[in-house]
Structure 1
Amino acid sequence: MSTTYPTPRDDAPLVVFDFDHTLYDGDSGSHLFATLIKRNPLRLLAALLVTPIAGPLVAMLPTRRTGISLYVWIATFGMHRAREFNRVIDAYVLKNEPGLRARLLPQALEVFAAHRARGDRVVVATGAPPELARAILAFVAHQGVPVIGSEVGPRLGAVGATRHCHNEEKMRMLRERGYGDIDIAYSDSTADLPLLLAAKAPVVVNPKQGSVEHFRRVLPAGTRILNWGCEDRGGDKA
């Protein structure tokens, strides 16, 4: 039976959650594209052929987006519209429900649900395709939450990101939709520092071990840095 949450007031606190490594253990977009590649021998062959080039690009932060885009192009070649891509996402989520459901972090979902139960305005802002985050959250009755994610469109016979919900662009996309005055923000990533710094109360969850000290230096004193169940990540056990 699904939980019924109160309708947030317009002046209710605004709480923004990242998705990957925050609510979901891992990179949901990478899991999607890897599955699309692996299930088709031609796509898999193409991915293996470009890996000597794309692999090093992904490994370096300044060129990571370019490297990932090559794999996304291979995974989606033959798709021509965002609507078609979303149908593929829905089929992927349905087929892989047990594994995807298992990656939703119980501690994160408890905090997520508690904010909704209090009547807070809860928004998910993610670099993943928004349909992917929406479909996975629907497993746990959170399909009513607004999701802002990377926008996709046609690109050279495939689909690709036309606007990345990432870093400063994530903040612009939030503001465009009326989510500018953020009370609490949860994220794992240094790429979300603009979001965390904009929040009155930032909370770092499941950061990479090597990022913990950086977060302590740049975020306000006393900022909580928590681990919500990602075994290979940093943060204090909650």
Structure 2
Amino acid sequence: MSANDATPPLVVFDFDHTLYDGDSGGHLVLWLIKRSWWRRVAAILAAPLLLPLVAFLPTRRFGISGFLWIGTLGLHERNELDRLIDQYVASDEQRIRSRLLPKALAVLEAHRKAGDRVLVATGAPPELARAILDFVAHKDLPVIGSLSRPFLGGLVTREHCHHENKMRMVRGAGYGPIEVAYSDSAADLPLLLAARKPVVVNPKPGRIEMFRRVLPAGTPILNWGCVERGGE
């Protein structure tokens, strides 16, 4: 095989705190809950049970599912969530657009112009990341994200694109060796360790030493505009 026939390098970006300043899925779920007073009351009552589940990696999916179920109770079809995502993004376009990180988008665009294959792999619903990226003309960018399913009149998380399961979903979608991976999160260590060139961006300050310890020497630890995060 000639060099011209070789598969272009694969570059994987996390979304939250990497391309987007914040937790995009959490912002969506909060909006879903705030749509009615009884959802707010239900979320407050369930919070003592659900928040500890969200706090720990092995149980995070179940905590997120609980809040998602409260926010979507009354939906019976998966595509109804897509309609609500479009409504949410349209209703708060200015704030959502302002959370996209210009430095991150410039790096992403540079990879695309170089001919690299760029993939976004996120714990948020893929439709949400796509809708937000549409603001900056990346409609054709492939996105892998968390998937939901109907459950007792609402939706819960079926596949959480997170930690080791993020790598399983990337591999399951047919992607091979990763040249470069960008992420802020310790939960993305499987992704970062799988990349030939890991790059940590916008990490929590308390996680920086851990990243330096477990990732290859010289791994860049950068800040792309999240003011409350660490990195150079």
Q: TM-score, normalised by structure 2?
A: 0.94
3-state DSSP of counterpart to 1:202: strand
CA-to-aligned-CA distance 1:22-80 (integer Å, 9 cap, x gap): 00000000000101111211111111111222233333444333222211110011111
Q: Which one of the candidate residues 153, 156, 159 is aligned to 2:155?
A: 159
- The answer to whether structure 1 residue 132 and structure 2 residue 141 are counterparts is no
The 1:61–1:14 alpha-carbon spacing in structure 2 relative to 1, beyond 3 Å, is closer
After TM superposition, give the deviation of residue 85 of structure 1 in Å: 0.8
Pairwise CA RMSD: 1.3
Assess if the C-alpha contact under 8 Å between 2:66 and 2:156 holds in 1.
Answer: no
- Range moving further from structure 2, 227-236 or 54-63: 54-63
Identity of counterpart residues, as a percentage? 64
Partners in 2 of 1:139 and 1:162 — Cα distance?
A: 28
Is 1:73–2:73 an aligned residue pair? no
Aligned residue among 217, 220, 223 for 1:224: 220
CA distance in 1, matches of 2:29, 2:15: 17
Q: Secondary structure at the match of 1:228?
A: coil
2:61·2:160 contact (CA, 8 Å) conserved in 1? no
Letter aligned with residue 222 of structure 1: G
1:70 match: secondary structure: helix
Structure 2 residue identity aligned to 1:35: W
Counterparts in 2 of 1:1-238, with a 5 A limit?
11-236=7-232
Query: Structure 2: which 5+ residue stretches go unaligned?
Result: none
Mean CA deviation greater in 174-183 or 129-138: 174-183
Shift of 1:122: 0.4
Cα pair 1:57 1:63 within 8 Å, conserved: yes
Asked whether the 8 Å contact 1:226–1:235 carries over to 2, the reply is: yes
Structure-1 separation of matches of 2:195 and 2:48: 40
SS in structure 2 at match of 1:186:
strand
3-state SS, counterpart of residue 178 of structure 2: coil
Pairwise CA distance, 1:20? 0.4
CA-to-aligned-CA distance 1:91-113 (integer Å, 9 cap, x gap)? 11111110100000011011011
Equivalent-residue separation in structure 2 for 1:10 and 1:121 (angstroms)? 12
TM-score by length of 1: 0.92
Distance in 1, Cα, partners of 2:134 & 2:95: 14
Does the CA-based 8 Å contact 1:101-1:139 persist in structure 2? Answer: yes
Q: Which runs of 5+ in 1 are unaligned?
A: 1-8
1: CA distance between counterparts of 2:6 and 2:126? 23
Q: Aligned equivalents of 1:74 and 1:65: distance in 2? A: 14
- Contact 1:80/1:153 (CA < 8 Å) preserved in 2? no
Q: How has the CA–CA distance of structure 1 residues 75 and 121 changed in structure 2, closer, same or farther, with 3 Å as cutoff?
A: same
> How many correspondences in the alignment?
228
Deviations 1:118-141 (A, max 9, x none): 111000000100000000000000
